Amino acid sequence: MSEYAELIRRWKEAAILGSCGGVLGWDERTYMPRNGSAHRAEQMALIARLCHEMTTHPKNGEFLTAAETSNPDDDAKANLREIRRAYDRAVKLPPDLVEELARVTTQAQQAWTDARAASDYSKFQPWLEKIVALKRREAAAVGYKDHPYDALLDEFEPGATTASIRALFADLAADLTPLVAALLASPRKPDRGILHRDFPVETQKSFGRMAAETIGFQFDSGRLDVTTHPFCTGLGPGDVRITTRYNPKHFNESFFGVLHECGHAIYEQNLPGEHFGTPLGVAVSLGIHESQSRLWENQVGRGQPFWEFFFPKAQQAFPCLSDVKLDDFLFAINDVQASFIRVEADEATYNLHIILRFELEQAIVSGDLKVADVPGAWNERFRKMFGINPPDDAKGCLQDIHWSFGGLGYFATYTLGNLYAAQFMDRVRQDLGGPQLDDDFRAGRFGRLKEWLTDRIHRHGQRYRAGELCRRVTGRELSHKPFIEYLRTKYEPLYGV
């Protein structure tokens, strides 16, 4: 067996063990009894340590070096490039740090759930302090050029730096802030009460499942369950799981959450299964992953052609919508307002939520902001950005699960996803024809869009880094301008600005 083949065999074996940990992680956030948290933490710590040992075995380094000098083909070059990146990062991390991170973050997720339910930051603060200390150790071990946050950001968006994201976000904010201000100042307002009527949970379940299946989620290779904070997890070929949460008095919360997670899941279901366990069978980055979820949730799912197909079905499923006109419903689901909860925010204000978190995380990691002072700093910045004050911790700094699982550096990828989604969709409409694509959606046909995404993005795995993939797919560098143009085209007619 060649050095490359043996390296791939070992890498796939570690991935299979990691997917076992993925099943435990999914169970923890869906069905595990709350008192199982401590034992689950030990299970996750053991799997994390074993995966780290398998990944960083000295033989892997030997096989990797030998394979890199053996004139590999294009597939092998892509795999070796990304395995080298992952291996070099992993060997810098002490095994005890990897194990302790898994142990602490597993227990912290249960602590976060309890703290959020009680709207009491003090219940979560000790766990966040532990996590921040561990993530600072991780950043120091991995190394960074300018800011410790770089080392954490790079885990989720390879090649991105704090400075590059700051610059991109500054350009976005310069155009976004006046647009949001104009929309909020408009006297035109939708009837928000349309979305806060009686929406029975069981009916929401069946309607959401129908919509997921229609846009392309394959239920024979996945499932939909309930959780506190919705997520998607790809456990391997033929097993991709999504979750949502239901509010019987709010239509948006579950339905658009399902569309969002379906975007992630369709990506996972269309990665090349034969490459599972290697970089060619893994998504490019979280920014690209988020582009798929935001594309289906917003670019498609909040558009008029989509609802020309789905609204009659919604009226049949939910009698409370029988007296509602389509135009009024569309205005309501595209309402722009200052709001507390990120996952329920409209497209125009959503990225302001991300910028707030991006700024806070840098301060937390650098030590400029003490963990104890997070609620006050959160509320102060929120008031400045949105003009409203979070009434409690649950609607403030406790609303997101990410810090509890160690996801410092994650949030920026949501805005990257919005920008990629707009740029990709602009290209889709050029390639497939905008009017023809709208006709597809009006007829409930989403196959051409799904096939385009699979051909241009999903099937490549990590063959290309995010920036190169964007250039290949759209012909240009990532820019905030297609996103701003998309917002203006949608919102200016609605709000008369």
Encode pLDDT of 245-304 as tens digits: 999 999 999 999 999 999 999 999 999 999 999 999 999 999 999 999 999 999 999 999
Residue spans of the domains in the chain: they are 3-143, 163-495
Is 261 a known active-site residue?
yes
Supply 250's token pair: 């709010």
Q: What is the mean pLDDT of residues 430-436?
A: 97
- Rounded to whole angstroms, how far apart are CA atoms 395 and 17? 37
End-to-end CA distance of the chain: 66
> Residue 1: what pLDDT?
65
Residue 24: is its pLDDT beyond 90?
A: yes
Do 478 and 471 form a contact (C-beta atoms < 8 A)?
no
Residue 403: is its pLDDT beyond 90?
A: yes
| pLDDT digits 0-9 by tens, 123-140 | 999 999 999 999 999 999
DSSP 3-state assignment of 91?
coil
Q: Which amino acid is at 204?
A: Q
Residue 157: is its pLDDT beyond 70?
A: yes
Question: Is residue 361 exposed (0-12), middle (13-18) or buried (19+ Cβ within 10 Å)?
Answer: buried
Choice among 99, 261, 290, 297 that is catalytic: 261
| pLDDT digits 0-9 by tens, 198-249 | 999 999 999 999 999 999 999 999 999 999 889 999 999 999 999 999 999 9
Residue 437: is its pLDDT beyond 70?
A: yes
Q: What is the mean pLDDT of the chain?
A: 97
CATH topology assigned to domain 163-495: Neurolysin; domain 3 (1.10.1370)
Q: Which amino acid is at 299?
A: Q
Q: What is the largest CA-CA distance in the chain?
A: 71
Question: Is residue 170 exposed (0-12), middle (13-18) or buried (19+ Cβ within 10 Å)?
Answer: exposed
Residue 154: is its pLDDT beyond 80?
A: yes
Q: What is the mean pLDDT of residues 347-368?
A: 97
CA atoms within 13 A on the CB side of 345: 21
> Residue 229: what pLDDT?
86
- Rounded to whole angstroms, how far apart are CA atoms 101 and 42? 11
